[in-house]
Structure 1
Amino acid sequence: MNDFDTPVVIIGAGPVGLATALVLGRHGVRSVVCEQFGGINPHPRAHVVNTRSMELFRAWGIADAVRADSVDPAQAGTILWKQTLAGESLGRIDFAEGPRILERIHASAEQLASCAQDRVQRHLLDAVVAQGTATLRYNTTVKEVTDHGDAVDVTVEGADGRQTLRTRWVVAADGATGGMRDRLGISMDGAPVLGHQLNIYFHADLSPWTHQDPALLVWLINSVSPGVLIGMDGARRWTFQRTFDPAVESPQDYPPERCAQIIRDAVGTTELDVDIRSVGSWTMTARTAATYRRGRVLLAGDAAHQFPPTGGLGMNSGLADADNLGWKLAAVLNGHAPEALLDSYERERRPIAVDNARHSMMNAIKMADVGIGTGTAVVAARLESPDPQVAAAERRRIAEAVPLQRPHFDALSQEIGYVYGAARWADGALSSDGDRTPTAVRGARLPHAWVERGGELVSTHDLLVPGFTLFAGPGGAAWADAFAVAFEELFPEGPGGGMAQRTVVVGDVASADGACLDLLGIGADGALLVRPDGHIAWHSAEGSAPVSALTGLLRGAERPAR
């Protein structure tokens, strides 16, 4: 089994599958991406691109393109509650107000964005094609995966009939309903079914009702057509999501005429030109795969975890999966690390998924306070009560409850505060209340700081390379020398090439009042080592040396973070 068609086969060309191919390509590893459909699904589903994902896109060279396709921040920063779109506001959350926006600005060079998933996918696809290391095979269904222990045979069926690809590793990024996880016999832990939703994608000019008070999300509480309107481009592209019971109906029971009337009822008008583009359904659940690996097949994205959309963590968690798994697969394939390194993928990413599921579930439960969920009919009845005192009291109650929903939509800690190997968020990392600042501890994402390099203002994240990066204080020459020794020992030039590396002496890059040294916690004589995925691998405060730390990491035997 020495003849391989490709080092990696990726099942699924959604955002996570494409991101995995892109990260592998950054390390020179070729892949074949198999997608059962003919191209990008034009029906937008996810839209939240959180801070960490935008940081990844910045590193991958597509942040500007995604930002250009995102909803105007002035609109994306507002969440509204109404009875109908044409009605008066019941409550609102404005993210541009208060100190939290300053915390976000100081925490990252990038900000959370709202970009429809099909547009995100397009930019990832363009980057993968431009990179040239992945072969994309649309209209190709994976029929069988046979793991031989030292190789995997992947039988696919496409336009040219059936064929078998021999590969070293398979990444199943085929989504929640792709089937590969079930075929591998991997169970899911958590709440299986929380509800079902119908998603109507349509084009319409809603500016008569949104022009004066634009918003990204508008939650509508009424007895005729309750649900949530989501602006996908801030203009004509919208989705409307509402409760759906698959036991008594199916998406086929919602032809364009019926859907158009549902939209008009939600808007609160009899006159509206509605272009229904597609209708789909999905199951709300909070589950995590019991294991992320079965032999030479690894799960990523929704194949490994599913969350309620309350928090916008689904696609974003999958993108971070791809970044974590991609560099580790590349290190193993390029001969830089043993296979044991791949065990750290589940060890690091699964606890984050479990916590994201918890956070999303808590948000979903809390939304009942503002009439969203199983109690919508009861709340709507009070709002529509013929007794004006009952209606007024319910409006006051919702107005008071809405501001308490802010953590649902503004949880920076979930985006960038997690620490690999830690039993909890590290001391000093952002709390769920956002009252702390990111800290440079092992396992955490490298903190952002603006520094000047060659007359240009750049983020500390812009100084990272696809391999390992050492940040050393002005007096940290000994650490830089040890780092060089580590690389010479661990990454000799071979068939897979060398591992990228860089040393940044904080002093050669200027920062205001030594802020960068303070933020990194290294002082004049310290140092820290950053992994290919932007998380800290080692800190001189530990008292160890980068050689032993790097060796332990690549063997998959690193100690738990403090």
Structure 2
Amino acid sequence: MPVLIVGAGLAGLSSAAFLAARGVDVLLVERHPGTSLFPAAVGQNLRTMELLGFGGIAERVPMLPPGLSAFRVRIAATLPGPTFHETVSETDTSQVNALSPARLGTAGQDKMEPILRRRAEELGADLRFDTELVSFGQDDDGVTAVLRDRDGLTSEVRAAYLVAADGNRSGVREALGVGRHGSGTLGHNVSIIFDVDLAGLLDPEPPTLHVLHNEHANGVFITVDAAVNRHLYSVNYDPAAGQSPEDFTPERCVELIRLITELPDLEPDIRAVRPWDTAAMVADRFRVGRVLLAGDAAKVTPPSGGLGGNTAIGDAYDLAWKLAAVLDSTAGPELLDTYDAERRPIADRVVLEAERLAGNRGPATAGDGGREGEELSDEQRAARLVLGFRYRSAAVISDPADEDSADTDSAGTDSAGTDSAGTDSSDTDSAGTDSSDTDSADTYSTDPEDPNHPSGRPGFRAPHVWLHRDGEKLSTVDLFGHGFVLLTGAEGGIWTAAADDVAARLGITLQAHTIAEDLTGYGIEASGASLVRPDGVIAWRTTEAPDDPAAVLLQALTTVLAR
């Protein structure tokens, strides 16, 4: 078995789907009987939707309708009570269309996980629910794992690699002895899913996240599915005051819902109750030998901004194309080291941003519009986080001038992120933090770039440019996601033969496209070329054609693929 995945959350299921789409045999095990019933991690940003598009999944995801849409965050004591403060984030989809051909997704985790599950199963992935990992060990050639099914029967499997997507309480991470850094546990919560008709109480337009602060309980409320009158109320509790999840009996949950609605006779139907902790932590290592951490096993974020679920899918895609390349011997095993180098800095930035957003949702921030001294709006920061991120690793060959001014670390930002409408109530654990240092500086203005003005430098996402082919409109992004792509200017026909020659010598998929349109944002001349990785990230570029394009291209790909 090439890959064993532990955990069927967003990271695990998307890893299974993305790997299976590349022809990799996958076994996924999940100790629960099915996918999540809770609508955590609501919303898929543009980058995530691009990745889902590469995997043939995006069209199945419910999307934001065309036109001007808005999402409101309202801070108040109760649902009908007076508003302390609110923000309304508007998404002009015409502007969004200028940055990506993708559309924003609106699925919660309860809807997204079944979509990913169906796709993975269609592609032949072996998904086993009610099955848990008992133990594992690794050597130079692979991982040996012991599994236990619902009947208590154990079996042993052998895999080349193990993807630990088993959540914030990851037993795999703990068994490996990988520590975590960050702020640690920030709060304790219980989420309540309930059904009741609140049509006379709530204004459904625009969709609203209610952040409620009152003397009885603090928490958040959102309508999950208006069609069936389903809602989620996530309330804080304090262990220091003797409170615990066991206090949230059905009767107590009904009492709390009556308090926040100010409807003493309301009879909500309690569907599920789940405890979870708000935390901000990042694993100190994302790779230990043949084991790789993804999703909440690698990092856990506060729910503000919906960053956790999007980052999990970003982890999965990065892992999938790299694992597939290593397994089919088109890349050296050192390519997997770039997963940590690229994705761990992403996680650090995502956690910092989620903490910043959470700090602006208390009653004391009413009317301040954000923290003093912030020059970028939430929307601008999100754009840089989602589409203006940068990777620094051995799988990126920086421009010489860029290398001279680059930091020596692997700083980057999130390729997941979210739009301002995202929320994320992923459960987190209460594990402590260690003494490892992490970069806490706000570098949004220096390392990422404004995606409205892309540079086309290696390490950045290849920008969206509208093209025309055979009378049809398509994006440069539509060309990515399968193998490597070489984009050349109008006078770059010489690169076609070079790409064919190099692809044959390396045994890889490499498509060369000569673009007649102006490749604004790619920073190449008419005879230049830009090499784009399977994840839509620029790996290398040359502004003009060299004397021997095939030799130069071969050297670039050999470096990127750790050959």
Note whether the superposition's TM-score is higher than 0.5: yes
Secondary structure, aligned partner of 2:348: helix
Q: Deviations over 1:406-441 (max 9, x none)?
A: 618971211121110075569999988968533321
User: Does 2:276 align with 1:274?
Assistant: no
Do the aligned partners of 1:152 and 1:169 also contact (CA within 8 Å) in 2? yes
Secondary structure of the structure 2 residue equivalent to 1:367: coil
Match of 2:171 in 1: 179
Residue 2 of structure 2: SS of its match in structure 1?
strand
Aligned counterparts, 1:162-241, within 5 A? 162-211=154-203, 213-235=205-227, 236-241=229-234
How far off its partner does 1:101 sit? 6.1
Higher normalized helix content (fraction of residues): 1
Query: 200-209 or 244-253, which moves further after superposition?
Result: 244-253
SS in 1 for 2:320: helix
Segment of structure 1 superposing worse, 238-247 or 147-156: 238-247
TM-score by length of 2: 0.83
Q: In the alignment, which residue of structure 2 is the partner of 1:50?
A: 45
Please name the residue that 1:15 is paired with: 10
Q: Residues 409 and 90 of structure 1: is their aligned pair in 2 closer, same or farther, counting only changes over 3 Å?
A: farther
Aligned residue in 2 for 1:455: 471
Instruction: Describe the superposition over 1:510-533 as per-residue Cα deviations: whole angstroms up to 9, x where unpaired.
Output: x5xx3xx11222232111111111
> Is structure 2 residue 112 aligned with structure 1 residue 105?
no
CA contact (8 A) 2:79 2:210 kept: yes
Per the alignment, residue 551 of structure 1 pairs with 558
Task: Give the residue type in structure 1 aligned to 2:355.
Answer: M
Question: For residues 321-354 of structure 1, what are the alpha-carbon distances to aligned partners after superposition, in whole Å with 9 as ceiling and x for unaligned?
Answer: 1111111111111011111111111011111111
Distance 1:428 1:347, change over 3 A: closer
Q: Secondary structure at 2:497's aligned position in 1?
A: helix
- Is 1:505 the counterpart of 2:514? The answer is yes
CA contact (8 A) 2:526 2:544 kept: no
**Does structure 2 retain, via aligned residues, the 8 Å contact 1:475–1:525?**
yes
Q: Are residues 212 and 366 of structure 1, via their aligned partners in 2, closer, same or farther at CA, if it must alter by over 3 Å?
A: closer
Correspondence list, 1:96-175, <5 A:
96=90, 103-132=95-124, 134-159=125-150, 161-175=153-167
More relative contact order, 1 or 2 (CA 8 Å, 6+ apart)? 2
Q: Is 1:301 the equivalent of 2:298?
A: no
Quick one: structure 1 residues 64 and 115, their matched pair in 2 at CA, closer, same or farther if it must change by over 3 Å?
A: same
CA distance in structure 2 between the aligned counterparts of 1:449 and 1:93, rounded to whole angstroms: 32
Distance 2:88 2:168 in 1: 32
Structure 1 residue 226: deviation in Å?
3.1
Aligned to 1:65: 60
How far apart in 2 are the matches of 1:196 and 1:291? 26
CA RMSD of aligned residues (A): 2.8
Determine the C-alpha separation between the residues in 1 that align with 2:68 and 2:490: 42
TM-score normalised to structure 1 length? 0.83
Tell me, which stretches of 5 or more residues in structure 2 are unaligned? Answer: 393-405, 414-442, 547-551
Match of 2:322 in 1: 328
Structure 1 pair 225–434 and aligned structure 2 pair: CA distance change class (3 A): farther
Which amino acid in structure 1 is aligned with residue 553 of structure 2?
A: P
Say if 1:251 and 1:279, in contact at 8 Å, map to a contact too.
no
Q: Secondary structure at the match of 1:128?
A: helix
1:419 matched residue in structure 2: 390
Partner of 2:500: 484
Q: CA deviation at 1:452?
A: 2.2
Cα offsets for 1:41-97 (capped at 9, x unmatched): 2122221322211111222222232125x7999776222233321134333322227
**Partner-residue secondary structure (3-state), 2:188:** strand
Contact 2:71 2:206 in 1 (8 A): no
- Summarize the Cα distance change of 1:23–1:267 in structure 2 as closer, same or farther, 3 Å threshold: same
Give the unaligned 5+ runs of structure 1: 1-5, 372-396, 492-498, 557-562
Residue type of the partner of 2:45?
A: N
Q: How far does the alpha carbon of each residue in 1:477-515 deviate from its partner, in whole angstroms, 9 at most, with x for none? A: 223332222212211xxxxxxx333222212xxx5xx3x
Residue of structure 1 in register with 2:458 after alignment: 442
CA contact (8 A) 1:325 1:345 kept: yes
Output the CA distance in 2 between the equivalents of 1:219 and 1:433: 32
Structure 1 Cα separation of the partners of residues 391 and 449 of structure 2: 20
